[in-house]
A and B are shown apart, each in its own frame.
Chain A
């Protein structure tokens, strides 16, 4: 007994010699198509009884004293008796009020789409009962005719399609073999299978040079098909089905293509054994992608979804440690997608981070989560999204308000490339994933009074106050890493959570002082020694010294700036031949420690100079 696949292959390879079996399959599909049946005619959308009940319940406000239909309601007798004219009016009034209420719920009744979604106003009647033994049982059988039609398109463009054992035919057979076991519970969902066939043909048949082993292709498509099947199984109304259909149409070609590239390059990883954990994860990524599309259709366009899917799959391929068990990966990944997307869309005051960085943000999020899953993801509460909390604080720290600089967004857009911004988020996610408790801690649930926002804000506010932009975006990113390192060395001293302003942090003061000193030296015509990497090294060195003597730093305002000013003056003047950037940074460390112990050194230029010379001589 030939299978449906045999029929289809047969039909495609020999269209001109159509066998009666193929025609039968085709005709059967037409006969079994759903038809939408109109309803029996009636006296109106509401009967008079329906209208009375409606106004006694949900529409009551409209017939009470002062209501739109109070006058009409009063014409009705105590037992509901009324003239035909009044009954007619009440029926129409019920329809109108119901429409108004639906409109208030943003379900505009005159909008055809909303109407169909809202009340499933038509009934597509199937030919067979689901469990009828005569009903064509499998989805592939039900869509055989349609697949046959699509196949004929390929026959026209690819003569080799008709050759037995051609690569074309092997591909088609593999695709159909993969789709055959997928049987949707809803016949209406069969259209998804058509989309999957279409997408697969577009990717694989049009790239015949792609080396794919048949069984792996089947495994891959089977995986996608099974995920779709589960999604269809979870559907309980026509609106959800329509949404899934739209998503399927928009994303399936991209998803098949992305999977072909990533999964097939790593088949052992993704499609390995039955217990392959990555296989489970790749399904979780697809489910999460579909879920994100369903819950946030306005945020996730088809292209964005495919990009996210590709990035997430790549990230998983490289770091698949995020395995929570019991299918919780899916929930975690889905929540990660949506929470990061909504944060980026809604909590982005500067608009510096555009939505198109979402796919990278998700990828770095997955990477961070994979590396420190035990700290970042609670198996009990996979919906908890610490990375979204982190992203919210990052976005806040880049805003004009938080940096107390009306011009910060403009400065930042000049300073940072898209890659810099993604890297900043990556650094923050990485730091948070290693130490979530400490960095996300905030006072009074105020994002602004959280450690993470204050660390980043100290850097952004200081850089925003630097009119000559001594650092470029890449160096700024490194500065952020130095700030995190400094914070980790001395977590409770550099940041002040008693106020919202990042400018009260010691971290800010140190950075601002160094930048100011370097800038003033340049303005005075001094040597431009501390640039780029040397400036960052100086910052690192100063933070290390200050961290060890916070009290002295607090007692002496601008002690860092004064110290560096003194050194830069020597390096630009009397000691120009003895000092370069390298030893300047080393001297700075020693001198600053000395000054922090004895600030009187700053008021005595001779002692200060002598100290520098002593250090220099020791260095040589």
Chain B
């Protein structure tokens, strides 16, 4: 696998090197140069996201394994968070320095750059910047029409993802001070309210449910609903049966919105199972 990418990259570099050389006298050269930079930022972003997903899925596993007598191979895990952060930071640097500042950047590529920037800022916990970037991008989306459906969708839901992260940070703060003790009803209610806000913002995306970014947004809603369940659990499971049942019911309705056949169906099932305890997350027969 690595070799294939290496080969392609070398082709890319070789070709692009020549391209950049020859383009020094051409009209469209800076347009191509800036596109190349954006492509590099995309590659870094994808690498960072892979590391992030790996980190978040297996952090619990590793922590628990560390407490068990039979150790697992831990050599790759501790650096994942830092590696991912470093790459997201590189994405930001590249976009800010070489891409978004260029007047030659094609407007559709600019939207793409904004989307990556907003998400990188979100993952780096630069929440305010993420919101500002998303708003700038959304304005451009509104003026350009629908040539970047995914990118504009990302910009629309970035706010929801930020609110979700901020609420979790708040929960963790409370948790630290509580030393294993539970939330009060008021604390749980307030945190759930914030997660509801995140859900509302994720729901602002009004694309058809079989659109790739709409599928992604619905998957994130399942995660946020799992967070809501945990807020109620952290207060009292027996006292919040109705609220939890409602959250699970909402998750089941979201499940029905997924199309019949799509590439990340396995991921949806995993999220529903792990985050909501749902053994089934099936599309309704009417789904697209």
Please state if B226 and A47 are interface contacts (CB–CB under 8 Å).
yes
Q: Which of B12-65 contact A (CB under 8 A)?
A: 12, 14-16, 18-19, 22-23, 25-29, 31-32, 35, 38-39, 42, 45-46, 48-50, 52-54, 56-65
Please state if A109 and B15 are interface contacts (CB–CB under 8 Å).
no
Given A31-B108, A245-B4, also A80-B237 (CB < 8 A): yes
Q: How distant is B276 from chain A, measured CB to nearest CB, in Å?
A: 6
Q: Mark A37-56, 1 if CB is under 8 A from B, else 0.
A: 11111111111111011100
**Assembly CA distance A97 to B275 (angstroms):** 16
Please state if A249 and B4 are interface contacts (CB–CB under 8 Å).
yes
Q: Which residues of A contact B194 (CB under 8 A)?
A: none
Given A33-B42, A128-B150, also A84-B68 (CB < 8 A): no
Interface size class of A (residues with CB under 8 A): 35 or more
* B182: interface (CB < 8 Å): yes
Q: Mark A90-109, 1 if CB is under 8 A from B, else 0.
A: 01111110110000000011
Interface residue from A16, A23, A132 paired with B149 (Cβ < 8 Å)? A132
Q: Which residues of B contact A40 (CB under 8 A)?
A: 161, 164-165, 198, 220, 223-224
Please state if A83 and B64 are interface contacts (CB–CB under 8 Å).
no
Q: How distant is B61 from chain A, measured CB to nearest CB, in Å?
A: 4
* A125: interface (CB < 8 Å): yes
Q: How distant is A178 from chain B, measured CB to nearest CB, in Å?
A: 20
* B244: interface (CB < 8 Å): yes
Q: Which residues of B contact A82 (CB under 8 A)?
A: 233, 237
* B213: interface (CB < 8 Å): yes
Q: Which residues of B contact A27 (CB under 8 A)?
A: 31-32, 35, 106, 108-109
**Tally of chain B residues near chain A (CB < 8 A):** 114
Q: Which residues of B contact A126 (CB under 8 A)?
A: 150, 212
Interface locus among A115-123, A397-405, A504-512 = A115-123
* B242: interface (CB < 8 Å): no
Q: Mark A19-38, 1 if CB is under 8 A from B, else 0.
A: 01001001110110111111
**Assembly CA distance A448 to B74 (angstroms):** 50
Q: Which residues of A contact B216 (CB under 8 A)?
A: 37, 123, 125
Q: Which of A200-252 contact B (CB under 8 A)?
A: 237-238, 242, 245-246, 249
Please state if A43 and B230 are interface contacts (CB–CB under 8 Å).
yes
Please state if B49 and A38 are interface contacts (CB–CB under 8 Å).
yes
* B89: interface (CB < 8 Å): no
Interface locus among A146-154, A307-315, A571-579 = A146-154
* A414: interface (CB < 8 Å): no
Q: Which of A57-102 contact B (CB under 8 A)?
A: 57, 68, 77, 79-88, 91-96, 98-99
Q: Closest B-chain residue to A44, C-beta based?
A: B60
Q: Which residues of B contact A155 (CB under 8 A)?
A: 18
Q: How distant is B67 from chain A, measured CB to nearest CB, in Å?
A: 8
Interface residue from A35, A42, A91, A153 paired with B56 (Cβ < 8 Å)? A42
Q: Which residues of A contact B227 (CB under 8 A)?
A: 42-43, 47
Given A30-B35, A43-B227, A155-B18, also A35-B116 (CB < 8 A): yes
Q: Closest A-chain residue to B75, C-beta based?
A: A110
**Assembly CA distance A36 to B50 (angstroms):** 7
**Assembly CA distance A534 to B280 (angstroms):** 77
Please state if A96 and B210 are interface contacts (CB–CB under 8 Å).
no
Q: Which residues of A contact B56 (CB under 8 A)?
A: 38-39, 41-42, 45
Q: Which of B140-180 contact A (CB under 8 A)?
A: 146-151, 154, 161, 164-165, 168, 171, 175, 178-180
Q: Which residues of A contact B263 (CB under 8 A)?
A: 120, 123-124, 186, 238
Please state if A91 and B60 are interface contacts (CB–CB under 8 Å).
yes
* B270: interface (CB < 8 Å): yes
* A112: interface (CB < 8 Å): yes
Q: Closest B-chain residue to A33, C-beta based?
A: B42
Given A37-B49, A47-B226, A84-B234, also A52-B277 (CB < 8 A): yes
**Assembly CA distance A254 to B42 (angstroms):** 32
Best-surrounded residue of B28, B182, B183 (most CB of chain A within 10 A)? B28
Please state if A115 and B58 are interface contacts (CB–CB under 8 Å).
yes
**Assembly CA distance A129 to B209 (angstroms):** 10
Q: Which residues of A contact B42 (CB under 8 A)?
A: 30, 33, 35
**Assembly CA distance A122 to B229 (angstroms):** 23
Q: Mark A314-333, 1 if CB is under 8 A from B, else 0.
A: 00000000000000000000
Please state if A30 and B39 are interface contacts (CB–CB under 8 Å).
yes
Q: Which residues of B contact A198 (CB under 8 A)?
A: 11
Please state if B72 and A99 are interface contacts (CB–CB under 8 Å).
yes
* B76: interface (CB < 8 Å): yes
Q: Closest A-chain residue to B220, C-beta based?
A: A40
Q: Which residues of B contact A87 (CB under 8 A)?
A: 230, 233-234
Q: Which residues of B contact A151 (CB under 8 A)?
A: 15
Q: Which residues of B contact A35 (CB under 8 A)?
A: 42, 45-46, 49, 115-116, 150
* A524: interface (CB < 8 Å): no
Q: How distant is B177 from chain A, measured CB to nearest CB, in Å?
A: 11
Q: Closest A-chain residue to B266, C-beta based?
A: A120
Given A33-B42, A84-B178, A125-B212, also A98-B76 (CB < 8 A): no
Please state if B18 and A92 are interface contacts (CB–CB under 8 Å).
no
Q: Which residues of B contact A419 (CB under 8 A)?
A: none
Please state if A83 and B277 are interface contacts (CB–CB under 8 Å).
no
Please state if B148 and A127 are interface contacts (CB–CB under 8 Å).
yes
Q: Which of A136-173 contact B (CB under 8 A)?
A: 146, 148-153, 155-156
* B196: interface (CB < 8 Å): no
Best-surrounded residue of A68, A93, A125 (most CB of chain B within 10 A)? A125
Q: Which residues of A contact B1 (CB under 8 A)?
A: 113, 242, 245-246
* A15: interface (CB < 8 Å): yes
**Assembly CA distance A194 to B5 (angstroms):** 12
Q: Which residues of A contact B274 (CB under 8 A)?
A: 45-47, 50, 54, 94
* A134: interface (CB < 8 Å): yes
Please state if B32 and A149 are interface contacts (CB–CB under 8 Å).
no
Q: Closest A-chain residue to B221, C-beta based?
A: A40
Please state if B58 and A127 are interface contacts (CB–CB under 8 Å).
no
Please state if A23 and B266 are interface contacts (CB–CB under 8 Å).
no
Q: Which residues of A contact B14 (CB under 8 A)?
A: 152-153, 156
* A17: interface (CB < 8 Å): yes
Q: Which residues of B contact A94 (CB under 8 A)?
A: 60, 274
Q: Which residues of A contact B175 (CB under 8 A)?
A: 84
Q: Which residues of A contact B220 (CB under 8 A)?
A: 39-40
* A375: interface (CB < 8 Å): no
Q: Which residues of A contact B206 (CB under 8 A)?
A: none
- 3 cross-chain pairs, A with B, having the tightest CB-CB distances, nearest first: A85-B180, A149-B15, A53-B277
24 A/B residue pairs, CB under 8 Å, sorted by A: A18-B32, A27-B31, A35-B115, A36-B45, A38-B52, A38-B53, A38-B119, A41-B161, A45-B61, A49-B275, A81-B237, A92-B63, A92-B64, A95-B61, A99-B58, A99-B65, A112-B76, A123-B215, A123-B264, A123-B267, A125-B216, A146-B12, A149-B16, A152-B19
Taking beta carbons and an 8 Å cutoff, which residues of A are in contact with B?
15-18, 20, 23, 26-28, 30-31, 33-50, 52-54, 57, 68, 77, 79-88, 91-96, 98-99, 108-110, 112-113, 115-116, 119-129, 132, 134, 146, 148-153, 155-156, 186, 191, 194, 198, 237-238, 242, 245-246, 249
Q: What 19 new A-B contacts, CB under 8 Å, besides A28-B108, A40-B198, A48-B229?
A: A31-B106, A36-B46, A39-B219, A39-B223, A40-B165, A41-B161, A45-B57, A54-B277, A79-B238, A85-B181, A88-B180, A92-B60, A95-B61, A109-B58, A123-B219, A149-B12, A152-B15, A237-B266, A246-B4
